[in-house]
Amino acid sequence: QPVLTQSSSASASLGSSVKLTCTLSSGHSSYIIAWHQQQPGKAPRYLMKLEGSGSYNKGSGVPDRFSGSSSGADRYLTISNLQSEDEADYYCETWDSNTQVFGGGTKLTVL
């Protein structure tokens, strides 16, 4: 079963860009993941699914500022032109052996 590792926190300034990382455990580097955003006090929201090739498909209504990329076992979520509403927890997710797995989440602070 894969393990998804995320940094616990990240910060960036309003209007800048930030790149969040989700790392797949050994033996699972080709897995597809999904990114979710959870704003304070709200339910998670699906952002995109991301392949090992770097190809991604975003959910309906997700702003163009959100993009994905990959390198080896690392899956990235890049947010450009950071807005205050981007301050949230971000979770990655994958699937294997009849089990859904979530990363521990990254808390993004917009300065």
Q: Which residues bind other proteins (CB under 8 A)?
A: 30-34, 36, 42-46, 49, 51-53, 55, 59-60, 91, 93-95, 98-105
Rounded distance, CA 68 to CA 2, Å? 20
Shortest gap between Cβ of 56 and other proteins (angstroms)? 12
The residue written with tokens 């959870």 in the block is 38
Q: Considering beta carbons, is residue 18 or 33 the nearer one to other proteins?
A: 33
Residues contacting residue 10 through CB under 8 Å, at least 6 positions apart: 18, 20, 106, 107, 108, 109
Beta bridge partners, 49, equal 34, 57
Question: Would you say 90 or 110 has its CB closer to other proteins?
Answer: 90
Is 106 in contact with 20 (CB distance < 8 Å)?
Answer: yes
Q: Which is nearer to other proteins, 17 or 109 (CB)?
A: 109
Q: Choose between 34 and 110: whose C-beta lies nearer to other proteins.
A: 34
